[in-house]
Chain A
Amino acid sequence: MNYNWNWGIFFEPSPEGTGTYADMLLSGLVWTIATALSSWVIAFFLGSLVGVMRTLPSKAANAVGTAYVELFRNIPLLVQMFLWYFVLPEVLPQSWGNALKQLPNAPFYTGVVCLGFFTASRVAEQVRAGIQSLPRGQGLAGTAMGFTVYQTYRYVLLPNAYRVILPPMTSEFLNNLKNTSVALTIGLLELTARARSMQEFSFQVFEAFTAATILYVLINLFVIVLASLLERSVAVPGQR
């Protein structure tokens, strides 16, 4: 292989004129983290709501929840990105569409919403599985004490269900973080996009993607450490 290794490339100024290649990658990392955290907020709350809906006795709530999950988990994430970014502004009333197109940081907001809605469908299934894994008597006990449906979920079912699903939810969070890279296709300058532009400017493809890989792995390991600390702090004494 005829390749000129140059690990010093990170400290050379980037053609953007405002810093080195390392700065460029780090700014990408910041966008990756911002996108991952913002979309997770949507995914967590919307996903929990949809997951709860699928465990309610109401047929209507069930149907809405099921429709949501099947819609958002059965379309490829990449296609969803394109639908939100390129198709949605065209099918909305023209003034709304124009407002969307002129939004500053449109790729960021679109990426956050798209990823949030996509991951929510997966979170919903985890939450549903968590609730359904609890003994049926738990819900009955809450109900029998006079809790409303909301209170039964709030004080009995969800605190236990979230504990059960903490490990797979960690996986969902990591997936969500890595899926931010798909948003490069709608122009979000996150870590993978920055690595690609570094490669195109400098032709140092191995260095660029080695750095991106290491950054992704490090941040995911950090998340895993946090998750295991969280798992320990919410563990219930005397269980399992």
Chain B
Amino acid sequence: MTSTPMPAPTATTPVAPGSVAPSDSGLQSGPLTSPPPRIATGTPMIAIDNVSKWYGDFQVLTNCTTQVAKGEVVVVCGPSGSGKSTLIKCVNALEPIQKGQITVNDTKVVDKATDLPKLRSRVGMVFQHFELFPHLSITENLTVAQRKVLKRPAEEAKKKGMDLLARVGLSAHADKYPGQLSGGQQQRVAIARALAMNPVVMLFDEPTSALDPEMVGEVLDVMVELAKEGMTMMVVTHEMGFARKVADRVIFMDRGEIVEDARKEDFFGQPRSERAQQFLSKILQH
């Protein structure tokens, strides 16, 4: 399965000519991290620049640098403890960083002058454990931040919430509470809740790893839709099927470092780092 060649990228994901993988799949020399392919022109939507982070003396991120262009879907994978969730949480400053800079839509994250709540309201985030607010109905979950953060009128917020709930196929559950929904349904509501804020970027932190297997598909379907619509997405996941289907690029992390940052075709075709090869052979052998 690992050697299956990838289909050509679709028209929505143009590939810069300079970044085509070398045809020789033998041992590569030079740095393992290829420069991120420039897909879109202009400034990237997310620019992660030389970011390092420590928990006390323990370094969780080491000199991470990458970019996500507008409309790009980037999958971040790696063994557990490799810092991928931490990295994605740094993008909207849920985790502080000690070194480096992150820029989201031209706004610097590490800057005292930055209005972080405002920045975060434009960055949608979906969590592993959904994190719907259990005491609020589905409708209230979808509208509370629209009303309190964006100051939308209640009517408008509700309309927006209901439209999105319909899009994830859960209109019938508007008046239920999160505890009355299945995990897959909760995660779809969580995606709708994030979309209700009109985000410019969506971050997904292992959105399917807490789900029963039969519910993974319904959540991935929503994410695939979103990717097709041109949403800029950064997705931490182990779902390699999803990565093959919609990702433009795959970032492989290990021990806090970005070990490999490659176009999907290159990553699955011939990962250049030994660690990425080992990782892929482990998760793709079944």
Contacts and interface: CB of A to CB of B under 8 A. Distances in A.
Interface of A: 135, 137-138, 140-148, 151, 155-156, 159-160, 163, 236-239
A237 B106 CA distance: 42
Contact of A163 (B135, B148, B149): B135
A156 B132 CA distance: 10
Nearest to B120: A146
B117 to A, nearest CB: 5
B197 A145 contact: yes
B131 A238 contact: no
B177 A236 contact: yes
B67 interface: no
Interface in B6-51: none
Interface in B130-149: 131-135, 144-145, 148-149
A237 B135 CA distance: 8
Contact of A160 (B127, B135, B148, B177): B135
A144 B120 contact: yes
Given A151-B149, A237-B179, A238-B178, A145 B135 contact: no
A238 B123 CA distance: 29
Interface in B87-110: 89, 92, 94
Contacts, number: 77
A227 B133 CA distance: 24
Contacts of B149: 145-147, 151
Contacts of B128: 137
A127 to B, nearest CB: 16
A238 B180 contact: yes
A238 B149 CA distance: 27
B201 to A, nearest CB: 12
13 contacts: A140-B89, A140-B131, A141-B125, A141-B127, A141-B132, A145-B120, A145-B149, A146-B145, A147-B117, A160-B134, A236-B179, A237-B177, A238-B181
Given A144-B94, A146-B149, A151-B149, A159 B127 contact: no
B131 A138 contact: yes
Nearest to B180: A238
